[in-house]
């Protein structure tokens, strides 16, 4: 039986990226933000210091092995870790080495907060697709929704995003999370859409919390509000440039390797629907229900109900 590597998870099916092999290049909840809607829970290591967390050879080695194993079935290798991927000082080197070794398309999902730093922007130029988070362009709204590290400045970040957009030759997309009574307001979103227009992304995605959030008050807006915001974006950016991410994600492809490692590594990066996990695990486990009950009893996962669905959430207390 092949053990699941330490720094990759999935592949998972992503609505933006197709079949995506995830790369987890920073330790759990090491982030420059502590977003109220974060599906990983509250940030435990709030930092803006870019540093080396792992040996880049180990990260690249895991990715190369997994890409070879799933050859032809992966659309993107995606840096979408348990925190902010650009906090990893080696990310540019890792992207370059992965591309030199196995030629996949590489995506990075960033919260944008380090784009005022030239070295972070340079590292990102190595990617084929970059998704930047733009939840707010008003200081007070940004502080409420993203709860940034005190050293961060919104105006510097927005200047950094513009600077990056000018030099990036890959596919740039944006993601805006709407939270009821926080940023899902027409006037606030007019200003967000105006900013996004300046950077001219291939697509602007509007999402809502569909998995259990860090704070119970981070609720999705009403369908009417969602349509209102969509229309604001559509008028500002043009038909075909805006997409809603407001439906549950598609089920992941079949599980592989050790069933326990698969469920723990996949759930460590985002809560996974219980029904999807049970279906995927059928490929490698004789009794997926029993496995999930065992992991729950051992305190490695918990089952959480949110918006009418059950999710498996990873418990990290004992994680190194």
Q: Is 193 in the site for ligand SF4 (CB under 6 A)?
A: no
Q: Is 175 in the site for ligand SF4 (CB under 6 A)?
A: no
3-state secondary structure of 168: coil
Q: Is 83 in the site for ligand SF4 (CB under 6 A)?
A: yes
Calculate the CA 158 to chain-centre distance: 20
Q: Is 131 in the site for ligand SF4 (CB under 6 A)?
A: no
Helices 186-199 & 154-167, crossing angle to 10 degrees?
A: 40
Window contacting ligand SF4 (CB under 6 A); options: 30-38, 149-157, 188-196, 300-308 = 30-38
CB of 40 to ligand SF4, least distance (A): 5
Q: How many residues does the chain have?
A: 320
Q: Is 34 in the site for ligand SF4 (CB under 6 A)?
A: yes
Calculate the CA 290 to chain-centre distance: 29
- Cβ atoms of 115 and 134 within 8 Å: the answer is no
CB contact set of 96 (below 8 Å; sequence gap of 6+): 126
SS (H, E, C) 256-277: CCCHHHHHHHHHHHCCEEHHHH
3-state secondary structure of 36: coil
Of 43, 176, 265, 280, the one binding ligand SF4 (CB under 6 A) is 43
Q: Is 61 in the site for ligand SF4 (CB under 6 A)?
A: no
Number of residues counted as binding ligand SF4 (CB under 6 A):
10
Q: Which two tokens stand for residue 44?
A: 């435990």
Residues of this chain, 97-126, that bind ligand SF4 according to CB under 6 A: 111
Task: Kindly write out the interface string for residues 263-282 of this chain, putting x where it contacts ligand SF4 by CB under 6 A and - elsewhere.
Answer: --------------------
Of 12, 40, 98, 267, the one binding ligand SF4 (CB under 6 A) is 40
CB of 145 to ligand SF4, least distance (A): 9
- Residues near ligand SF4 (CB under 6 A) are 31, 33-35, 38, 40, 43, 83-84, 111
């Amino acid at each position: 039986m092949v053990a699941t590597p330490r720094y990759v998870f999935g592949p998972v099916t992503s609505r933006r990226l197709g079949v995506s092999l995830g790369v987890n290049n920073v330790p759990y909840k090491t982030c420059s933000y502590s977003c109220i809607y974060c599906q990983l829970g509250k940030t435990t290591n709030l930092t803006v210091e870019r540093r080396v967390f792992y040996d880049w050879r180990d990260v690249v080695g895991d990715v190369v092995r997994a890409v070879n194993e799933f050859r032809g079935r992966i659309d993107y290798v995606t840096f979408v870790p348990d925190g902010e991927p650009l906090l990893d000082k080696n990310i540019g080197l890792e992207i370059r080495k992965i591309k030199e070794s196995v030629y996949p398309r590489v995506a990075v999902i960033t919260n944008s907060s380090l784009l005022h730093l030239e070295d972070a922007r340079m590292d990102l130029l190595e990617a084929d697709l970059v998704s930047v988070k733009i939840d707010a362009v008003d200081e007070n709204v940004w502080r409420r929704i993203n709860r940034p590290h005190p050293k961060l400045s919104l105006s510097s970040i927005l200047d950094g995003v513009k600077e990056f957009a000018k030099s990036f030759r890959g596919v740039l997309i944006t993601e805006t999370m709407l939270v009821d009574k926080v940023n899902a307001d027409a006037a606030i979103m007019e200003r967000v859409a105006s900013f996004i227009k300046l950077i001219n992304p291939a697509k602007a995605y509007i999402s809502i919390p569909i998995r259990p959030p860090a704070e119970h008050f981070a609720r999705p807006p009403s369908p009417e509000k969602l349509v209102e915001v969509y229309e604001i974006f559509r008028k500002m950016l043009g038909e075909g440039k805006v997409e809603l991410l407001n439906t549950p994600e598609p089920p992941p492809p079949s599980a592989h390797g050790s069933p326990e490692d698969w469920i723990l590594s996949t759930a460590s990066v985002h809560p996974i629907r219980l029904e999807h996990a049970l279906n995927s695990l059928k490929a490698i486990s004789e009794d997926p229900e029993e496995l999930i009950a065992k992991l729950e009893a051992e305190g490695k996962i918990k089952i959480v109900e949110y918006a009418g669905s059950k999710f498996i959430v990873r418990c990290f207390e004992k994680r190194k």
